[in-house]
Amino acid sequence: MAPDQSGNGAKRLARRRSSRARITSPRLVRALVTTVVIVIVNFVVMAYFVPGATDSTFLLRDETALGGRTTSTTSPVVVRIAPASPSFPVVTTIAPPVTVPVTVPVTAPPVAQRPTATVPTTTRPTQMPISSPMVARTLSPFVPNPTSNIPPSPDFLETCSPTAYDQSPECLFAVLAAINNARIASGLPTMVLPTNWAALTAAEQLFVATNLERTVRGLPPLSSMASDLDLAAAEGAAAGKDPVVPPGFVWTRVSSNWAGWLGNPLEAMYYWMYDDGLGSPNIDCSSSSLGGCWEHRQDVLDPLACDPCVMGAAFGTTAQGAASLAELIVDTQGSPATDFTWAQEQPYLP
């Protein structure tokens, strides 16, 4: 049978096509919308979430305290945004600060200024009365007398007291510096005081200083301070003259030194050893009496037999108000009573 060519057939065909169109249109719209969304998302991702596209650098201040001073440096901190992923959320990571070495010029701390020394009100005599020894000595050939005086530098007389025992840091610093300058000029090692120096009495310091000057030149040290000789030295210091060996004390060789208007034992040792020739404070050394020149030094450096050799030492004040030091050096025999020995001092020596 032939197809229906009537109008009713045409209407049914038109309805079918219209129905197909209505069914297809929503799908097409959804597809178009999906495509547009994908394009937009890809554009945004490419524009804003490409690695490195949004790196930013921030400067953080790093303050370092050095010796009371603050120096500032900067270290970069990078904020990096990771690329977008269809399966994971966007992750933001912050790199830790990078430590940058800081070079700071090293400046030496300021040197503390010593307080200005107070000049004593009592005026020293123009020529300090440093007496000649009791017995003149002839030195062994390997310890000759200096060819000239070495005036103290720095001049510790401007710092140390002439009327009282002066153990102040200013006085000690000045006189030790002068001794070391004189030693260097004489080709000798510098003097290093024992670690217990401040705990020693003035008399013990004089004993130790005498041995330091002897041993640096290869001479045997005086073994001890003899109690009887200490009493004799105290009498000499009070009277302002050379002490003498007390009656009954056995001796084979003896000499003595005295110095006035000096408040530190190292001052006396300086003048006896380095400034005792013609033109020095030695009142027994003059152009008309050269025999007294350098005799204090000869006493200190007397090449004794030491069986044993002992010493008496004292610090005092004369009737005129002068600080006064005396020492009595004796080569003796036997075992006299002692109150301080060189062996006791050994643990404190350098």
**Given this model, what pLDDT does residue 11 score?**
44
How is residue 120 written in tokens? 């004593």
Instruction: Give the model's confidence band at 16: pLDDT under 50 very low, under 70 low, under 90 confident, else very high.
Output: very low
CA angle 345, 346, 350 (to 5 degrees): 110
Q: Are 175 and 266 in contact (CB under 8 A)?
A: yes
**Cis previous bond, 308, omega within 30:** yes
Give me 254's structure tokens: 């003896």
Q: Residue 28: pLDDT band by 50, 70, 90 thresholds? A: low
Quick one: what percent of the chain has pLDDT higher than 70?
60
Per-residue pLDDT reduced to its tens digit, 86-122: 444 444 444 444 444 433 333 333 333 333 333 333 4
The predicted structure's pLDDT at residue 250:
94
Q: Mind listing the pLDDT tens digit for each residue in 220-252?
A: 999 999 999 999 999 999 999 999 999 999 999
Compute the average pLDDT of residues 196-219.
97
CB-CB contact of 176 with 167 (8 Å): no
Looking up tokens 């109150």, which residue turns up? 339
Phi-psi region of 322 (alpha: psi -120 to 50; beta: other; left: phi over 0): beta
Confidence grade of residue 146 (pLDDT, cut at 50, 70, 90):
very high
Number of neighbouring beta carbons within 10 Å of residue 286: 13
Highest mean pLDDT among 20-29, 73-82, 326-335: 326-335
Residue (of 129, 124, 125, 149) closest to 258 by Cα position? 129
Q: What is the pLDDT of residue 80?
A: 40
Decide: residue 134, CB within 10 A, 0-12 exposed, 13-18 middle, 19+ buried: buried
pLDDT of res. 255: 94
In the prediction, which pLDDT does 323 show? 97
Does position 50 have pLDDT exceeding 60, yes or no? no
Q: Which residues of 237-276 are buried (b: 16+ CB within 10 A; e: fewer)?
A: bbebbbbebeeebebeebbbbbbbbbbbbbbbbbbbbbbb
Task: Please give the C-alpha separations between residue 120 and each of 130, 159, 162, 323, in angstroms, as whole numbers.
Answer: 20, 8, 7, 12
- What is the predicted pLDDT for the residue at 43? 57
Q: Where are the beta strands (DSSP E) in 245-294?
A: 253-260
Of 84-98, 128-142, 173-187, 314-328, the range with the lowest mean pLDDT is 84-98
Look at residue 334 in the predicted model and tell me its pLDDT. Answer: 87
What integer is the mean pLDDT of 158-175? 97
Task: Give all domains of the chain, ordered by start, each with its CATH number.
Answer: 156-348 (3.40.33.10)
Give the span between the Cα atoms of 203 and 234, in whole angstroms: 9
Asked if residue 145 lies in contact with residue 272, where contact means CB atoms within 8 angstroms, the answer is: no
**Residue 90: per-residue pLDDT:** 43
Neighbours of 169 (CB within 10 A): 11
Q: Given this model, what pLDDT does residue 121 score?
A: 39
Query: What is the reported pLDDT for 298?
Result: 94
Average pLDDT along the chain = 76
For residue 348, pLDDT over 50 is answered with: yes
* Whether residue 350 has pLDDT greater than 80: yes
Average pLDDT over residues 42-56: 45
Is 153 in a helix, a strand, or coil?
Answer: coil
Q: Per-residue pLDDT for 39 more than 70? A: no
Q: Identity (one letter) of the amino acid at 118?
A: T
